[in-house]
Chain A
Amino acid sequence: DAKTTQPNSMESNEEEPVHLPCNHSTISGTDYIHWYRQLPSQGPEYVIHGLTSNVNNRMASLAIAEDRKSSTLILHRATLRDAAVYYCILFSRARDDKIIFGKGTRLHILP
């Protein structure tokens, strides 16, 4: 069973910001929130991760709700190359814990 809930698909215009939501209401205190994306015909690639505070890197920003039950991946200026499936995953540090990717959000970028 997926620990995270994401919309199946989203659309955005090129060069505009994109906000990809993720709900994880059963998150535990030690779970890290990771985002990966999978471009067509490629393996998933790491985007960003965080625990409690908002995070920024060259690819994106991650906004984490104060109660940590949801998060939002922000692409500041979407390009056509950002069209991909975006996965929000909770990574537990506990041994033997399964990794659950879920179905992700398919992001379409309109030129």
Chain B
Amino acid sequence: DSGVTQTPKHLITATGQRVTLRCSPRSGDLSVYWYQQSLDQGLQFLIQYYNGEERAKGNILERFSAQQFPDLHSELNLSSLELGDSALYFCASSVGALRETQYFGPGTRLLVL
């Protein structure tokens, strides 16, 4: 158990809908990272937040947004969902902002029908 929690574990929704994925980092970790893993794309970095502020952006679509709250938990919002958004979404956390060791959560499996 990495100490990072993600909810929900599974999510099934329809095209065009909006969903919110939630992540709670390990106690004491200030950075949260979001990744998308699909079969054909491997693990793709989406975005990093550090202590409530956006620090780095990866291949995150405009339909996706994220935020980190004062209690350091983070949410990833996916809107206007398409079939191709079906994937595993992982959250990771680290102590600081400088990409030290990251601890990954168990992931949320999203299926868009």
The interface of chain B, by Cβ under 8 A from chain A, is 2, 4, 33, 35, 42-45, 48, 55-59, 90, 92, 97-99, 101-107
Question: Number of A-B pairs whose CB atoms are under 8 Å?
Answer: 56
Q: Fill in one digit per residue for A65-105: 1 if any B CB lies within 8 Å of its CB, else 0.
A: 00000000000000000000001000111011111111110
Please measure, in the bound complex, the distance between the C-alpha atom of A40 and the C-alpha atom of B28, giving whole angstroms.
28
The reply to whether B105 and A43 contact each other, CB–CB distance below 8 Å, is yes
Q: For A100, list chain B residues within 8 Å (CB).
A: 45
CB < 8 Å: which of B99, B103, B104 contacts A99? B99
Q: From A42, which residue of chain B is reached at the shortest CB distance?
A: B106
Q: List 24 A-B contacts (CB under 8 A).
A: A36-B102, A38-B43, A42-B106, A43-B4, A43-B92, A43-B104, A44-B43, A44-B90, A44-B92, A46-B102, A49-B101, A87-B43, A91-B99, A95-B55, A95-B56, A96-B56, A98-B58, A99-B48, A99-B58, A99-B99, A101-B35, A101-B42, A101-B45, A104-B42
Interface size class of A (residues with CB under 8 A): 20 to 34
The interface of chain A, by Cβ under 8 A from chain B, is 32, 34, 36, 38, 42-46, 49, 87, 91-93, 95-104
The reply to whether A43 and B56 contact each other, CB–CB distance below 8 Å, is no
Please measure, in the bound complex, the distance between the C-alpha atom of A87 and the C-alpha atom of B59, giving whole angstroms.
18
Q: From A98, which residue of chain B is reached at the shortest CB distance?
A: B58
The reply to whether B99 and A96 contact each other, CB–CB distance below 8 Å, is no
Q: Which of B44, B57, B104 has the largest count of A CB atoms less than 10 A from its CB?
A: B104
Q: From B55, which residue of chain A is reached at the shortest CB distance?
A: A95
- 10 further interface pairs, Cβ-Cβ under 8 Å (given A32-B99, A43-B90): A36-B102, A43-B4, A44-B90, A91-B99, A97-B56, A98-B57, A100-B45, A101-B43, A101-B44, A102-B42
Q: For B57, list chain A residues within 8 Å (CB).
A: 96, 98
Q: For B4, list chain A residues within 8 Å (CB).
A: 43
